[in-house]
Structure 1
Amino acid sequence: MKIALSQMHVIPGNRSANLKTILSTIDKAKRDEVDLLIFPELCVSGYMLSDWWLSPAFLQEVHDYNEVIKEASDNIAVIFGSIYQDSDINTRLHTKAYHPNKDGRTRLYNAACFVQNKQWLKRESVEPYLPEGIQPKTLLPNYRFFDDERYFFSLGDVAMDMGVSIESLSQPFCINIKGKIYKIGLQVCEDLWCKDYRKDNRALNTSRYLIENGADFIVNISASPWTNHKNDARDRRIRFLAHDSDHFVPFYYVNSVGPQNNGKNIITFDGGTTAYNSEGNPVLLSEKNFENDYLLVEHESLPTQTLTRKEPSSISQKYQSIISGLRYVKDMLGMEEHPKYVVGVSGGIDSAVVVCLLAQALGKDHVWSVNMPSQYNSSATQNAAQHVADKLGIKHMQIPIQELADAQLNLFAKLDEELPSSDYARKLSDENIQAKIRGTSILSNLAGRYGRFFTNNGNKLETALGYATLYGDVGGVIAPIGDLTKAEVFNIARYMNAEIFQEEVIPETLLPNEIFEFGENDIAPSAELREAQLDPMKFGYHCALLDAFTHFNKASCEDVMQWYLTGTLAENLNISNALVDRWGLSDPALFVEDLEWFARNVQRSVYKRIQSPPIIVTSPSAYGFDIRESQLPWQTSARFNDLKQQVLALEKYAPKSAQ
């Protein structure tokens, strides 16, 4: 049997474009004399569609397209991911009993659909609990930005409703290829990530059930987002499936590519399509990250030699993910061509990285840069902005804003004579006037007037701490580096200079040493809204602290203080003791003051993050819909207060190791 694995770029919501891709791939597979063609999960509609799953008209259109694919399956078998509304369940079961979705609507499956010769394929078991040709997803993820439980009915739900075992419903499909019958077990995405789902004190492993029920091989169709070292994670999960079964069978994994979004996050899908042998080892794999691919394999002569993956560096994968996300905006907004951008470039590292990413993703003709100096902007930053633009070959403009700032300052000076305000509030307002002029008066108007978009250039650390101005630099259509800490921004700048440009496009003067120190002639990060202003963050340390706070297993202030007491702060944050010393954190009083400042600012800045543009996800936990936040005051616990007193009683931080 010849099998084709179609690693497909799925455009969420664009049913007609996806159908066109599917049909053209079916035609290609027929020309290649393929017997079985496999597409990814929800390849007809896309996955991240939020409440479009509640639209009857939308669901009906997807159902109609399912039938089109079935009619195209003459002389070929096709497995594809789509939704299926089980509207004929009562007819099939010969009952008038009530069988709804959990929300009272018609039962909806996120399913693997199996067709051949214009027919829905049948299982060996003929129980009518499930429609022909339809295998519902068993495990519905309901973490991070996944919300499957909100919309879909699982195989386990069917088992509970019908009073049967999930094992009995995990039946392979029978397929006739050139007179030979194959039994194929189908899974959908999360079903292979089953180790943490439990049943009868074991993993709820449908691979095991399918094999016990006679499956000759297993197909898993996925829409599994990219995360760092995702291929290694996939391989480990397949090995677990193999070890969790008395014996194993060949396993075909087909994943989608192309970003999707949930309104607040842009999530990228990297592919990783792989064929595994009966020992659970990868023997054929796609080497195209974030791109379409089409792999052919002869099932009977599946390679036996285990392949070693070439895993790119973490920062290069994050670079690829951002590039993929930027190229997605046209699909997200239903545009035929990539949109064009105007980017506010301050001469600092963040805007330099953003403008370089855009130029690489879309081409230099799609990017303008604009520098908007006030009296506080140095010639060094203005020259740095010009240098980047010249190296990229993009149009660069300089629009001074001091006259606009002075006009507003004069207006408010008159109002200050009669309206009460504090000195601090007036000072902060005077500074933020510049940011609002840049973002609202200049950038948004340039974008609107000349048919362009503008970007949010904030990094994750600034987003966390609220170090940004609403209606100023909190704006734009997308936040390309909103999930990169400042340390990662520096790293991606170094990566682009060395690997992408192979020359100094981003000035070295913007990059610190290994403990985030800047030389006398370097340009340290600054908003440049007042004289001699420097960003208040402790780079490197605060980046690591934010990673710990937003990790999937989130650390707390109490954890951080406990690490300090045990001398394992650097070890747990994966930083050096030299960095702890560089920021003066060996002083317990300064450490506690800084920790409270950090935690308080993270919590009180929720209101800004709620109003921020979509962020491209590059970490295990991104602001937006991945991290779901409520606006609440920052409060300390009794344990926090107790640990604080213990820390303050120390004379000095004593590291346990030479981390």
Structure 2
Amino acid sequence: MNLISTGAVRLHQMTIRQGDPDANTRTILALMARARADGVRVAVFPELALSGFMAGQDWLDGSCLRACERGLARIVEASQGVAVVLGTVAAYRGRLVGAAVAAEDGLRVTPDESPLPFVPKLLTPQNRFDGASGFLCAGAVAAMEGVALHTLFSPFKLGGMSVAAWCGQALPRGYDPARQGAGLLLCLDTRPYTRDRPLGGPPAADGVPAACCCGTGVADTGKTLFVLAGGTQARWPDGRIGHAPLLHEAVLDFAARPPDEAVARTDHAAPRKVIEVLEHACRLQLARLGLSRVIVGASGGIDSALTAALYSRVAGPENLLLVNMPSRHNSSTTISLARRLAVNLGCYYTEVPIQESVELTRRQIDACVCERPGGKKRELSLSDFAVENVQARDRSGRVLSALASAFGGVFTCNANKSECTVGYGTMYGDIAGFFAALADLWKVEVWELARCYNAEVFGGEIIPQGSIEIVPSAELSQAQNVDEGKGDPLVYAWHDRLFAAWTERPVPATVEELARGYSECTVGELTGYPGDLRALFPDEASFRGDLTRMWQLYNGLARAKRLQAPPVLSLKSRTFGFDLGAAQLPILNEFV
């Protein structure tokens, strides 16, 4: 029977708790019980619904696999009265396999032509979450079984229907389960939110209902935190598509007849949606770490202002402390902006001047005399540039960390992706923090989200307009005096596009082709920069000079800084940490 009757199939967009099969099993059993009571015939759950996505060696923990097997046994036993399809991890000849599993009437259901009680994932999970970690792909399984690959993906009988189910978006090339008699296609998937890449839809099949069931929650790889997007979808035979909301738990009942009003698909890249993802991820991060209070170093600039606005909604103003830490280089303008932000948010605020402690550090180091055996001595002193870094380290390493202990919370890293790309931050200073929520956002996106917070979230000027308009500056020396219009050595409208060409394109633009691009007039095509490049760089020499400097920064100490930075929230398809991991030393060329 290939027709889906009313209420026959329910797609469960569940929150998957990473590394907690017992909790996920309890969730699935409760949802199955509800589906059974509602007369649902087949309950569908996402990929890796029992374990969640885990990092590297965590997959090799035998206790987790055993917990998944115990949980699956309970789910199979509970399939009396409601059939179930879910994604899990299976043991196969001493290796691991991502698998789609089905059960009905207390028994596992095997695909019609397959020798296995599960459908193996076509591709090994060399993906953004976990690396290969000993997983076998379906091709290897087919070879070991001595069968044709497509037989492992054959449909099975479930709930009176012929169903094809698999994990991930990919199927064997040329294989069409609908031609094999499948009357329902189920793709079990769990994918991260990416602003720059829309989510895929249900499997395509003319006249055959199809669905993609996805999970929500987070996937923590250690250095990078991914937000599981959800976005479960169902396509009815007439081509209409129903959508579950992004990010949140939901159920989508999949019947033969589409609902009159399917859930509208939201613009996943809209600033308001990015804010929702940011808040959702930070809320989950605090909860999973058992944290409630947050300290933000508020400079008066836009990065700390956006971070403060974010955590005021995530933790609540009663659990948020803003601290301004002025030196003699900080303007009264930025100090007053930090104060105004705290008043607008209704959170705690304090000021801890650092000039005295910075001067103490300089005096102590300048008075140091180092001596080797034999009497050879060397006197030390701090340069003015080194004292700039002392200020940044004093703020984070001394003041913010101590305040975090006193306040009973953690302090944030406010770095954006532009700064991370070229290392425009101080190691053990403003790069420190418990979590880098903005580190996958370019500076221009930080401004964009700040404006959206005021216009669409707060409905008024909560983030001071002055923080949005003031020239970005670290205020570490007189050369960075914001009242004189002096600030960061970056033209963000241009440099963000340049950095994105290096980091976010599937095939990065090389520095060599960019260097040629000025004379060949191809820089705009390579970077997407819409402005007049010659207004910034009147000749090729000035362009190559800036390009070389930025490339050397990107491949210099910035590499070490990125390695030692806090965990980064991923919002794009290529994020520093997991996607853009790198050795401390670059590949050498004429520019490095």
Q: Would you say same fold, with TM above 0.5? A: yes
Counterpart position of 1:283: 241
Contact 2:130/2:221 (<8 A) preserved? no
Matched, 1:444 2:401: yes
Matched, 1:82 2:88: yes
- Taking the TM superposition and a 5 Å limit, the aligned residue runs for 1:452-531 are 452-512=409-469, 523-531=470-478
SS of the residue 1:269 aligns to: strand
Measure, in 2, the Cα distance between the counterparts of 1:427 and 1:528.
13
Pick aligned residue for 1:328 from 280, 284, 306: 284
Counterpart position of 2:68: 62
- Taking the TM superposition and a 5 Å limit, the aligned residue runs for 1:362-377 are 362-377=315-330
Q: CA deviation at 1:341?
A: 0.8
Q: CA deviation at 1:569?
A: 2.1
SS of the residue 1:553 aligns to: coil
Q: CA deviation at 1:303?
A: 5.7
- Taking the TM superposition and a 5 Å limit, the aligned residue runs for 1:166-177 are 166-175=149-158, 177=159
Counterpart position of 2:142: 159
Measure, in 2, the Cα distance between the counterparts of 1:361 and 1:50.
30
Cα–Cα, structure 1 residues 573 and 314, in superposed 2: closer, same or farther, change >3 Å?
A: farther
Specify the code of the residue in structure 2 equivalent to 1:567. C
Counterpart position of 1:21: 27
Specify the code of the residue in structure 1 equivalent to 2:282. L
Measure, in 1, the Cα distance between the counterparts of 2:40 and 2:322.
50
SS of the residue 2:246 aligns to: coil
Contact 2:555/2:586 (<8 A) preserved? yes
Cα–Cα, structure 1 residues 230 and 38, in superposed 2: closer, same or farther, change >3 Å?
A: farther
Specify the code of the residue in structure 1 equivalent to 2:33. D
Measure, in 2, the Cα distance between the counterparts of 1:152 and 1:313.
33
Counterpart position of 2:230: 271
Measure, in 2, the Cα distance between the counterparts of 1:414 and 1:259.
50
Specify the code of the residue in structure 2 equivalent to 1:110. G
Specify the code of the residue in structure 2 equivalent to 1:531. Q
Q: CA deviation at 1:248?
A: 5.4
Cα–Cα, structure 1 residues 278 and 230, in superposed 2: closer, same or farther, change >3 Å?
A: farther
Pick aligned residue for 2:13 from 1, 7, 17: 7
Pick aligned residue for 1:357 from 310, 326, 331: 310
Measure, in 2, the Cα distance between the counterparts of 1:505 and 1:414.
46
Q: CA deviation at 1:149?
A: 2.8
Q: CA deviation at 1:561?
A: 2.2
Measure, in 1, the Cα distance between the counterparts of 2:300 and 2:219.
32
Contact 1:283/1:303 (<8 A) preserved? no
Specify the code of the residue in structure 2 equivalent to 1:564. Y
Contact 1:13/1:49 (<8 A) preserved? no
Specify the code of the residue in structure 1 equivalent to 2:279. I
Q: CA deviation at 1:531?
A: 1.1
Matched, 1:254 2:213: yes
- Deviation per CA, 1:527-557: give whole Å up to 9, x if none: 1111131211121111000110002221111
Contact 1:135/1:186 (<8 A) preserved? yes
Specify the code of the residue in structure 2 equivalent to 1:615. V
Measure, in 2, the Cα distance between the counterparts of 1:219 and 1:313.
26
Contact 2:509/2:526 (<8 A) preserved? no
SS of the residue 1:150 aligns to: coil
Q: Which range moves more in the overlay, 410-419 or 26-35?
A: 410-419
Counterpart position of 2:540: 588
Pick aligned residue for 1:188 from 167, 177, 182: 167
Pick aligned residue for 2:189 from 222, 231, 251: 222
Cα–Cα, structure 1 residues 154 and 576, in superposed 2: closer, same or farther, change >3 Å?
A: closer
Measure, in 2, the Cα distance between the counterparts of 1:315 and 1:573.
22
- Deviation per CA, 1:211-262: give whole Å up to 9, x if none: 232211111111111112655x513x74xx44xxxx5521111111122110
Q: CA deviation at 1:420?
A: 5.1
Q: CA deviation at 1:617?
A: 0.7
Q: CA deviation at 1:58?
A: 1.7
Measure, in 1, the Cα distance between the counterparts of 2:516 and 2:323.
46
SS of the residue 1:301 aligns to: coil
Measure, in 2, the Cα distance between the counterparts of 1:310 and 1:433.
46
Q: CA deviation at 1:444?
A: 1.1
- Deviation per CA, 1:326-383: give whole Å up to 9, x if none: 01213543x3xx5211111111111111111111223222211111111111111101
Pick aligned residue for 1:608 from 561, 570, 579: 561
Pick aligned residue for 1:135 from 101, 104, 119: 119
- Deviation per CA, 1:43-78: give whole Å up to 9, x if none: 111113332110112211111111111122220011
Measure, in 2, the Cα distance between the counterparts of 1:369 and 1:113.
50
* Structure 1: gaps of 5 or more residues: 87-99, 101-105, 195-202, 513-522, 642-659
Specify the code of the residue in structure 2 equivalent to 1:154. C
- Deviation per CA, 1:603-624: give whole Å up to 9, x if none: 0111111111111111221100
Specify the code of the residue in structure 2 equivalent to 1:585. F
Contact 1:140/1:190 (<8 A) preserved? no
Q: Which range moves more in the overlay, 134-143 or 447-456?
A: 134-143
Contact 2:95/2:136 (<8 A) preserved? yes
Q: CA deviation at 1:282?
A: 4.2
- Deviation per CA, 1:109-149: give whole Å up to 9, x if none: 21112111211113223x53x1x2x2111123424x24453
Specify the code of the residue in structure 2 equivalent to 1:189. G
Measure, in 2, the Cα distance between the counterparts of 1:633 and 1:256.
37
Cα–Cα, structure 1 residues 470 and 413, in superposed 2: closer, same or farther, change >3 Å?
A: same
Q: CA deviation at 1:577?
A: 2.5
Q: CA deviation at 1:154?
A: 2.2
Contact 1:343/1:369 (<8 A) preserved? yes
- Deviation per CA, 1:56-109: give whole Å up to 9, x if none: 1221111111111112222001112211113xxxxxxxxxxxxx4xxxxx1222
* Structure 2: gaps of 5 or more residues: 371-376, 481-486
Counterpart position of 1:646: none
SS of the residue 1:610 aligns to: helix
Counterpart position of 1:211: 178
Measure, in 2, the Cα distance between the counterparts of 1:375 and 1:229.
41
Pick aligned residue for 2:508 from 541, 551, 554: 554
Measure, in 2, the Cα distance between the counterparts of 1:502 and 1:305.
29
Scaled by the length of structure 2, the TM-score of the pair is 0.91
Specify the code of the residue in structure 2 equivalent to 1:8. M
Report how many aligned residue pairs link the two structures: 572
SS of the residue 1:183 aligns to: strand
Cα–Cα, structure 1 residues 190 and 312, in superposed 2: closer, same or farther, change >3 Å?
A: closer
Measure, in 2, the Cα distance between the counterparts of 1:282 and 1:413.
73
Q: Which range moves more in the overlay, 611-620 or 49-58?
A: 49-58
Matched, 1:342 2:295: yes
Computed over aligned residues only, the root mean square deviation of the Cα atoms, in angstroms, reads: 2.3
Measure, in 2, the Cα distance between the counterparts of 1:148 and 1:214.
34
Matched, 1:114 2:102: yes
Contact 1:277/1:304 (<8 A) preserved? no
Q: Which range moves more in the overlay, 427-436 or 312-321?
A: 312-321
SS of the residue 1:598 aligns to: helix
Contact 2:51/2:68 (<8 A) preserved? yes
Cα–Cα, structure 1 residues 382 and 205, in superposed 2: closer, same or farther, change >3 Å?
A: farther
Counterpart position of 2:44: 38
